Structure 1
Amino acid sequence: MIGTSVFLGENLNEAIKENLVSMKEHGFTGIFSSLHIPEDESEYYLKRLKTLGEWAIELEMEIMMDVSGSSLTNVGLSFDRPKEILETGVTGLRIDYGISNEVIIKLSKDMKVSLNASTLTEKDIEELIEGGANFNHLEAWHNYYPRPETGLDKKSFIKKNQWLNQLGFRVVAFVPGEDKLRGPLFKGLPSLEKHRAIHPLAAAIELIEDCFVDDIYIGDPGLTQNTQIQFESYFKNKTMLLFAEQEAKSLYALSVVGIHQNRWDNARDVIRSANARFKKMDTIIPESPIRRDKGSVTIDNINYGRYMGEIQISLTDLPIDEKVNVVAKIIEKDQSLLQWCKGGMPFEIRLNNIRE
């Protein structure tokens, strides 16, 4: 599952709903929110919670709500009445400080419960087993970290997740957004510190491929439209979508637009389009050679003989080659995605002038 975040500290207006609809259209099926609220604003939060719940039911999305004991009480709900919680549209509770394992055990009989993945101990597991918790309803969610330099270290993160996987937990973690970062710091909301400033999709792929994470949520409230499209392309169509800018002097940029496949015998220095040079084409005339910096999109010219027409993307800085025309360049933001375009993976190149 991939999900987004909607916070209740502001009025849930039509623009927020439209963003949520867009996220659902691009494959996001979960919503994370929080009931950590000022006590004197509980009336407003309850109204917003009901609105969010109505939207989630309408869009067929799940809501995981971050709660403490007092925050739930402040909006007139109770751990003792889980059916009332479910009636709001909330499908699960992320348990925070001050809530006993006994309460968790009771809640797990009726609804999904998210445990704090970073602080969960073997003693907690023993108590949950002894108390008869429904482990089919339990998940392990990591925190996100608003303050720079406080996010988790990848090595210890992996070790913890391996342990959680062995216990049968579904592991969930956060990556930062980009379109509308959450205040007051506006520095992204990642689980891993290294992800604070990188492309959200690159962060998500690393969590899944390297870190034993099952589900990804965007910690901040939004993604740009193009990044939503990239998430859908990757998770639904299994295709890496890359946006590029045309080299001003090249006549061949349109030749690289479209869907390709990285060769199964993937190269160290470049992504190679598997079938590009086998297509029938006119002679490709050499253009003024320039350096092939990381992200350069190239097509081999007639000087390369039988390789004429081969399309590549540079994974590292490469020298000038008179046999190779540089026709476009992957935008800087998307270059962190290149390392995840593995052997055999389809990828698509779109030029900036046809971006939305």
Structure 2
Amino acid sequence: MLGNFVTGCSVLAPAGMLGELSSGLHVSISTAGLLVTFGAVVLCVGSPLTAWLTSRIERRTLLAATLAVLALGNFASAVAPDYASLLGIRLVMLAVGALYTPQAAGTGALIVPAEKRGSTIAYLFLGWSLAAAVGLPAIAFIASRYGWQAVYGAIGLMGCLSFLLLVWRLPRGLTGAPVDLTTWATIGRNPMILSLLLITTLQMSGQFVVFTYMGPLLARLTGAGPDPIALVFACYGACGVIGTLIASRIVDSWGAWKTSLFFMLVLLAGLAGWALSAGIYSLMAVSVAIWGIGFASTNSMQQVRLVGAAPALASASVSLNTSALYIGQAAGSAIGGFLYAHDLIYASGYVATALIALAVIAVILTKPKKAQSVQ
């Protein structure tokens, strides 16, 4: 879970300090936002590729090595002399970091009984919620006072701590099912898995149209300064933790599909509220809080549904889900950057809402039969 926190902070960090990166590296806001877009492209390619290349490596060794690279990558980012260097370091770091989230989910499934699988995966994904709840407001606060370099240094230190704890506590000898070309072919013939991957892509695309540029959008739409923006990030993340905790409590009794649909509707309500209240800080903050409740819960439920749809394919399908997640991030941040660069700042909320609405429809269409209710 702590490793997911480090991974989440590493991925999301630029979104919390676009202004500081823009001024410190002498690039535009939209160019700084490309750190998210290009990073997501590497992540979406790297997740299934590294899952294939590393499927026979013992899990403790693999996860520890991944955290070590994330820590070193963040320390290197702290001393990057210019934008091109920072982008290059980020792409290398995330190419390896793409391993962590899907392999952590697969490892969690190996060490708990099947009936606890849903709540365990939801708990592991709590690290991403904490990255938004604690990490993003801390990133915005530290960057506004001490600079973006200090942010990367702090994430590097957290990576070292996570590495040491994981080496100390995770059992040795855990291995997942090997991933080969037959595995990918089997997944390609599974309509439920393909539908779930589409849902992940749509809902992440919708969120990142707004999320990547949330700080600059709040500044332009409401005149908010660094501290009010950090407060909105904090509300978003805190509600993400609350949503994930609720999801982990109810998923084993409700089933993953019903839980997923509920939180997807919450997500839709939050982004629709952002679009409709654009320009009013208090209402936008409330909308972001509602959005936050659905954010991490929908992602964790997607992983639970994938594992339930084909447990034997979990290592590969969850890595593909992570890939779909980052495809959504790349597409959404690219759309958001286009809208921001062309001064279409009010339109971003409505575009995001439309994409989430499509995801809700897709969830409804994937309602499983009673015999498959774990999905």
The normalised TM-score by structure 1 is 0.24
Which structure's residues are more often helix, by fraction? 2
The normalised TM-score by structure 2 is 0.24
